[in-house]
Amino acid sequence: MIQTLADWTRLSLHTQLAGNRLQDWGLAAVWLIGVALTVRIVRSLLVTRLAALAARTAAHWDDAAVYALRGTRPLLLTLVALYPAVQSLTLPTLLHRWLIGAAAVGLFVQIGLWASRFAAEMIRNSRANAADDETVTGLSVMSYLARLLIWSLVLLALLDNLGFNVTALLAGLGVGGIAVGLALQNILGDLFSSLSIVLDKPFQIGHFVVVDNYSGTVENIGLKTTRIRSLSGEMLVFSNTDLTKARLRNFKFMQERRIVFAFGVTYDTPPELLRRLPTEVRDIVQAQPQARFDRTHFKDFGDSSLNFEVVYWMTTPDYTAYMDTQQAINLALLDRCAALGVEFAFPTRTVQLQLSAALPVNAVGGTPTARPLQPAATS
């Protein structure tokens, strides 16, 4: 009975199926299943072990390597295992070619996953340790470009492995790229402008900027547009090309704020008080905790006032602090001028009429009469 079963088994294994023995089919199936199970087990053990080692170091590359290994896909490596399995079988030419192609796809896609995850994790760790918004924005764009470059190289290598003429393909893409570039020149212009913004850093996320008549805080720098939250609350969207061409004022790096203001007093103010006023204004400005006095001058003779110009510096860029200081200076100046008896001027106009002789006045329908006109003044 046992001998009969052994003979039947031996006969069955040597039975031909689709040009191959059942034994060969079985070995190929066992090989593929074994690879899939081995990948799962080894990935789990290797990742656990390497993660424990990486936690003991301050370097980032080992953390990125662990993250890359976590991206190992058993299905992709099983496709790679098709290559040796196919070599041991006799298959139709077309099927053989397709299976070899599937193995190549699995290999290159898995390599792309490892490389892109490693690069993304390295950049992500750098972003987490970045001390400013400028670096965060730059690393975000670098992450996108790195992944784009990696997958482009993987695609070209895969096509070359599959038998495509990559040189001719690149030449064709070059010609087609010119046409696409002309059609998408605005979009591509915004893309390169975003790279210019990231590399040159005229502004970054969190900066308060003024563009023409618009002002607000930068919230997002995208590949095509930049979004700015205005002071009134709405979202302003600018194309990156427009921003690189605009005259933009960035208040982020302002350390001090120069303030110039003027006031005028009446023409009947005595000269001794005019000489005293600059000293009084200096004392008022110097009494403010965040102000540094620069100068005060009797500037010029106005149409209806004697004009003074005051210049001081705010030692903080905070706009609210500036307004509080200016308010305190204005109120103190009102009190000081009132105490000195100095009046602030306001626009006035005086018209004087003077006649050297009487003008005749004729009454219509009556006797002509005349009376002299006296010099008069109106204000």
Give the pLDDT of residue 236: 93
Give the pLDDT of residue 4: 56
Between CA 8 and CA 279 the distance in angstroms is 119
Tokens of 363: 């009454």
Q: Nearest-CA neighbor of 226 among 181, 277, 270, 191? A: 191
Give the pLDDT of residue 271: 93
Give the pLDDT of residue 168: 73
Instruction: Find all residues with CB under 8 Å of 178, minimum gap 6, and list them.
Output: none
Question: For residue 294, what pLDDT band results from cuts at 50, 70 and 90?
Answer: very high
What's the distance, Cα to Cα, between the start and end of the chain in Å? Answer: 139
The pLDDT of 303-331, averaged and rounded, is: 94
Angle at 335 between CA 329 and CA 341, to 5 degrees: 130
Give the pLDDT of residue 379: 43
Give the pLDDT of residue 8: 47
pTM: 0.52
Tokens of 41: 């087990």
Instruction: Find all residues with CB under 8 Å of 165, minimum gap 6, and list them.
Output: none
**Across the chain, where does the E strand assignment appear?**
16-17, 20-21, 208-211, 214-221, 225-230, 235-239, 248-250, 257-265, 291-301, 306-314, 351-353, 360-361, 369-370, 376-378
Q: Which residue has the higher pLDDT, 264 or 377?
A: 264
Question: For residue 206, what pLDDT band results from cuts at 50, 70 and 90?
Answer: confident
Domains of the chain, start order: 19-169 (no CATH), 186-250 (2.30.30.60), 257-340 (3.30.70.100)
The pLDDT of 20-25, averaged and rounded, is: 73
Angle at 28 between CA 79 and CA 13, to 5 degrees: 160
pLDDT-wise least confident of 15-24, 62-71, 243-252, 296-305: 15-24
Q: Are 66 and 51 in contact (CB under 8 A)?
A: yes
The pLDDT of 260-284, averaged and rounded, is: 95
Q: Nearest-CA neighbor of 208 among 219, 198, 199? A: 219
Q: Nearest-CA neighbor of 312 among 303, 321, 304? A: 321
Question: For residue 308, what pLDDT band results from cuts at 50, 70 and 90?
Answer: very high
Question: For residue 234, what pLDDT band results from cuts at 50, 70 and 90?
Answer: very high
DSSP string, 92-151: -HHHHHHHHHHHHHHHHHHHHHHHHHHHHHHHHHHHHT-SSHHHHHHHHHHHHHHHHHHH
Q: Residue 221 pLDDT > 60, yes or no?
A: yes
Mean pLDDT, all residues of the chain: 82
Give the pLDDT of residue 299: 94
Give the pLDDT of residue 297: 95
**Across 234-359, where does the E strand assignment appear?**
235-239, 248-250, 257-265, 291-301, 306-314, 351-353
Q: Residue 169 pLDDT > 50, yes or no?
A: yes
Give the pLDDT of residue 237: 93
Q: Residue 63 pLDDT > 80, yes or no?
A: yes
The pLDDT of 320-326, averaged and rounded, is: 95
Q: Residue 31 pLDDT > 70, yes or no?
A: yes
Question: For residue 291, what pLDDT band results from cuts at 50, 70 and 90?
Answer: very high
Q: Are 298 and 306 in contact (CB under 8 A)?
A: yes
Q: Are 135 and 221 in contact (CB under 8 A)?
A: no
Q: Nearest-CA neighbor of 35 among 76, 1, 6? A: 76
pLDDT-wise least confident of 150-159, 161-170, 349-358, 359-368: 359-368
Q: How many other CB atoms sit within 10 Å of the CB of residue 253? A: 8
